[in-house]
Chain A
Amino acid sequence: MSGGAVVRPSISIPEEQVVRYTFQERIYHWINAIAYTYLLTTGLALFTPHMYWLAAVLGGGPTIRFWHPWMGVLYMITIFWMHSKWKGDMIATKEDKEWQKHVKDYVENRDDKMPPQHRFNAGQKQFWWVMFYGSIILLLTGIVLWFPEEVPRNLMWIRPIIVFIHSATALLTIAGFLIHVYMSVFVTPGSMKGMLDGTVSANWARQHHRLWYEKITGRRK
């Protein structure tokens, strides 16, 4: 056509996409998420009588007592797998300190004030390490709670300590989990697409993880 291109308002140009998570990463993340959700709901049922109704919903007390540890095994496998893939990206960098200084801006959505970040920002890294070390503590204490009858008689005194640590650590991971789910579902449009389809828009990547974006595309402004 002569006279320049005409773009009709009803046609939107598809945004350029970049790959954020591989198929494998997504699969492991979602197996982990499902396992955690089961562990969370069954764990809460065993934690407080106010939540014991969840036991009935999930098949009854003996059923959740049987499956909670097995689901914990599945959860740990995916945690360790994700760790092997992501540990490099989770190492603290000098940009994290800058991010920490601007955490208030981040919370209050003044993203233009945020320093550029790598593949994961400082908050995501903190969440990861809370979940990783928390999960290891939950695994070690969980094994004792799985087979309490195997605890030798002269070591019985550790059992109340173990059950306390297991519950306290679980609560810590729940705090992280709550923020993680809230951020991805309600605060950062596009991040859920990244974990489902594996791609995010270039604009999304540039805004939230500029250093990562520049690294994978080789582009610099």
Chain B
Amino acid sequence: MSNGPLEIKAISGHSGPVPGQDVSRDYDVCKLVDTTTCIGCKACEVACLEWNGYEFRETTFDNTYQTMPDTAWNFWNLIRFNEHENDDGTLSWLMRKDQCMHCEDPGCLAACPAEGAIVQYKNGIVDFNQANCIGCQYCVTGCPFDIPKFNNVTKKVYKCTLCSDRVGAGLEPACIKACPTGCLHFGSKDDMKALANRRVNQLKEAHKDAGVYDPEGVGGTHVIYVLHDAKNPEKYGGLPADPRVPLMVRLWKGPLKWLGGMGMIFGVLGVFIHRVKYGPKHVDKVEEKRP
């Protein structure tokens, strides 16, 4: 990837060698969600709806502070509230901002059959282009986080865009802008990883299993979490411990596609050769004696 446009060429009011010349920051983007400083205010939920132009849906009360049980086609950002009983009998009240993880190796994109319906940008954003979406929902099948959501009226699938429109214009995503505690950060992946690790080191004094969630199985993600207990991500509203693109999706889009294609090509070739070599069957015209 060319970082050319972001490399410093000259700076004003400076004599001598230009500091930072020919050096550029990585162009990829990353959202850091520090679950340890989230207060569950849901400002990010509101900001997401406002920026993306969706009306508030009716909420569902389920004996929790959670707005509704799951994300939806027009509700991409959900704070999941979980009361977790620890081994020592104490209670942890866990809040996690759930949204598309923007995988480096996106299962939705691998599974999608429609040309150009899912686009992965070099900066890491995985975006859906509804104009090309055919509504088959194979993306849902490919996603290990169960993120893409189907709209039964438009027959299209929707999900968090990481505010690709804002990011493209040099702005941070709407959720980041709205967060009042600073638990949401946005920057390059390297910077966010460094910030997350710094925070984890801080947390280790009180939470020995604190860690960063950046799952390897999907090539890393462009949304990463700081967790008090990185060994048990499931307790944060079902965050998978080792998310992977399903094996059957890999086999389907890999060996089966290859074998099927080869089989069809050689099948057609085979019958063509057969025809040329053996020709058609001939019917012997035996005039039978009628009884």
Q: Which of A64, A171, A178 contacts B260 (CB 8 A)?
A: A171
**Which chain A residues have a beta carbon within 8 Å of chain B's beta carbons?**
15, 45-50, 52, 55, 60-62, 64-66, 107-109, 111, 145, 148-149, 153, 156-157, 159-161, 163-164, 167-168, 171, 174-175, 178-179, 182, 186-190, 201-204, 206-208, 219, 221
The distance from the CB of A197 to the nearest CB of chain B, in whole angstroms, is 16
Return chain A residues, CB-CB under 8 Å to B55: none
Cα(A64)–Cα(B140), bound, Å: 19
Interface stretch of the complex, out of B39-47, B95-103, B196-204, B244-252: B244-252
The distance from the CB of A45 to the nearest CB of chain B, in whole angstroms, is 8
6 contacts between A and B (CB under 8 A): A52-B113, A65-B135, A65-B136, A109-B279, A109-B280, A171-B259
Extra inter-chain contacts (14) besides given A15-B285, A62-B155, A187-B274, CB under 8 Å: A45-B113, A49-B115, A107-B274, A107-B278, A145-B136, A160-B141, A163-B138, A163-B249, A174-B264, A179-B271, A186-B280, A187-B275, A188-B280, A189-B281
Cα(A23)–Cα(B252), bound, Å: 41
Cβ-defined contact, B283 with A203, below 8 A: yes
B286 at the A interface (CB under 8 A): yes
Cα(A207)–Cα(B285), bound, Å: 9
The distance from the CB of B117 to the nearest CB of chain A, in whole angstroms, is 8
Q: Which of B137, B246, B264, B283 contacts A190 (CB 8 A)?
A: B283
Cβ-defined contact, B134 with A65, below 8 A: yes
Cβ-defined contact, B114 with A61, below 8 A: yes
B132 at the A interface (CB under 8 A): yes
Closest A-B pairs by Cβ, 8 of them: A61-B134, A160-B248, A160-B246, A182-B271, A159-B141, A164-B248, A65-B134, A148-B137
Cα(A148)–Cα(B256), bound, Å: 21
Return chain A residues, CB-CB under 8 Å to B283: 189-190, 201, 203-204, 207-208
Cβ-defined contact, A49 with B113, below 8 A: yes
Cβ-defined contact, A189 with B280, below 8 A: yes
User: Which residues of chain B (129-152) have a CB below 8 Å from chain A?
Assistant: 132-138, 140-142, 146, 150, 152
Cβ-defined contact, B279 with A159, below 8 A: no
Q: Report the nearest B residue to A166, measured CB to CB.
A: B252
Q: Which of B114, B136, B251, B284 contacts A164 (CB 8 A)?
A: B251
In terms of DSSP, what is the predominant structure of the interface of chain A?
helix
Cβ-defined contact, A163 with B114, below 8 A: no
Return chain B residues, CB-CB under 8 Å to A65: 134-136, 155
The verdict on A203 contacting B141 (CB below 8 Å), with A52-B113, A167-B256, A182-B271 known, is no
Return chain B residues, CB-CB under 8 Å to A107: 274, 278
Cβ-defined contact, B249 with A160, below 8 A: yes
B267 at the A interface (CB under 8 A): yes
**Which chain B residues have a beta carbon within 8 Å of chain A's beta carbons?**
70, 111, 113-115, 117, 132-138, 140-142, 146, 150, 152, 155, 246-249, 251-252, 256-257, 259-261, 263-264, 267-268, 271, 274-275, 278-286, 288, 291
Q: Which of B117, B247, B261 contacts A160 (CB 8 A)?
A: B247
Cβ-defined contact, A52 with B136, below 8 A: no
Return chain A residues, CB-CB under 8 Å to B115: 49, 52, 61
Return chain A residues, CB-CB under 8 Å to B275: 182, 186-187
Q: Which of A159, A182, A188, A203 contacts B286 (CB 8 A)?
A: A203
The distance from the CB of B255 to the nearest CB of chain A, in whole angstroms, is 10
Return chain A residues, CB-CB under 8 Å to B111: 163
Cα(A160)–Cα(B108), bound, Å: 12
Q: Report the nearest B residue to A145, measured CB to CB.
A: B136
Of B114, B135, B247, B275, the most chain A CB neighbours within 10 A belong to B114
Cα(A46)–Cα(B155), bound, Å: 16
Cβ-defined contact, A164 with B256, below 8 A: yes
Return chain B residues, CB-CB under 8 Å to A168: 256
The verdict on A148 contacting B155 (CB below 8 Å), with A50-B261, A153-B146, A160-B252 known, is no
Q: Report the nearest A residue to B107, measured CB to CB.
A: A160
Cβ-defined contact, B140 with A148, below 8 A: yes
Cα(A61)–Cα(B134), bound, Å: 5
